[in-house]
Amino acid sequence: MAIYIAGRDPYYEKGVSPRQRQVYLMRWNPSISGFTRDDFEKYFNYYKGKIEKIENTNIVWTIWDWKEVMHRDLFVMMQVGQKNNGIVWGGFLKGAPFQYEDENGKLTRSRFIECTVEYMHRIENTNMLSAECLMKEIPEVDWLHGHAGELLSTDVAEKLGFLLVDELRKVDDSDNVYFDTFNQKRYVLADILTYMCPELKKRLLVMGKCDNKKLKDINKLMVHVDDEDYDKWDILENHLHLKELNGILL
């Protein structure tokens, strides 16, 4: 089946974003989705290094608010319709939305996008990032119902960013949890804080925790994690500082 690319934004090759990254909420019901529980295990085991090859290293998902999306925006995947519901993986969106083209040249109504996974876990075993926790901490969002690729507001994205870091920092890389092995756990946390939490970056600037006093563009500041002693963190800002990205958001 051929693929029709809906358009590539000019920032794709350079990786430079002209705006604060946006965050999309995806939803996955394993009971009815074409992406099965076996598919989850296949990707999880591939990312964990237990499978050497896989047809597509990135998961492809439908995206509703596709007109707004940009290469390297973020996403979180919410498992719904199960006994254990909650965020089960997340990371960056890759490239531009596309449609599938059938043998008759007819395009699908739905748009799709590739998802680069930075963290993933078996929620049935970890009980991490549960729906109960999300509904309590961020009640503005209907976590269990709605379409895939729902664009979150900046305020909600920032709340979610803090919650993700608070949850992820407490767990080790185990048989039930995956962190991007290239970036490692501390950089996964830094990515979340950098791209989901613009107000945090502004607070760190005001606190003087920046190595480039002349830098004014909030989009070009990377949040760095000062230590790996995550479970002893109290006030988040005490353990973070800002660093220039050299114009490239990787």
Which range is most confident: 2-6, 71-75, 87-91? 87-91
What is the C-alpha to C-alpha distance for residues 204 and 200, in angstroms, rounded to an integer?
6
Q: Is residue 159 part of a domain?
A: yes
119 domain residue, yes or no = yes
Average of per-residue pLDDT across 206-222: 81
Question: How many domains is the chain partitioned into structurally?
Answer: 1
Confidence of residue 2 (pLDDT cuts 50, 70, 90): very low
Q: In whole angstroms, give the CA distance from residue 117 to residue 89.
A: 7
3-class DSSP state of 68: coil
Domain that holds residue 28: 20-182
> Assign residue 208 a region: left if phi > 0, alpha if psi is -120 to 50, beta otherwise?
left
| pLDDT score, position 160 | 98
The more confidently predicted of residues 230 and 238 is 238
Instruction: Give the highest mean pLDDT range of 20-24, 128-132, 144-148.
Output: 128-132
Q: Is residue 59 a part of any domain in this protein? A: yes
Confidence band for 15, pLDDT divided at 50, 70 and 90: low
| Within a domain: 15 | no
Write down the mean pLDDT value for the chain.
86
pLDDT digits (tens, 9 = 90+) for 59-88: 999 998 888 888 889 999 999 999 999 999
Which pLDDT band holds residue 156 (cuts at 50, 70, 90)? very high
* 219 contacts 17 by C-beta, under 8 angstroms: yes
CA-CA distance, 238 to 65, in Å (whole number)?
Answer: 36
CATH number reported for the structural domain that contains residue 115 in this entry: 3.10.590
Predicted confidence at residue 183, as pLDDT, reads: 63
Residue 42 lies in a domain: yes
Please, where are the H alpha helices in the chain?
A: 37-47, 123-126, 131-137, 154-168, 184-196, 198-206
pLDDT band at 5 (very low <50, low <70, confident <90, very high): low
Of 61-75, 191-205, 233-247, which range is least confident?
A: 233-247
Does residue 191 form part of some domain?
no
Query: For residue 176, is it within any domain?
Result: yes
For residue 100, pLDDT over 60 is answered with: yes
The pTM (predicted TM-score) of the whole model is: 0.89
Is residue 198 assigned to a domain? no
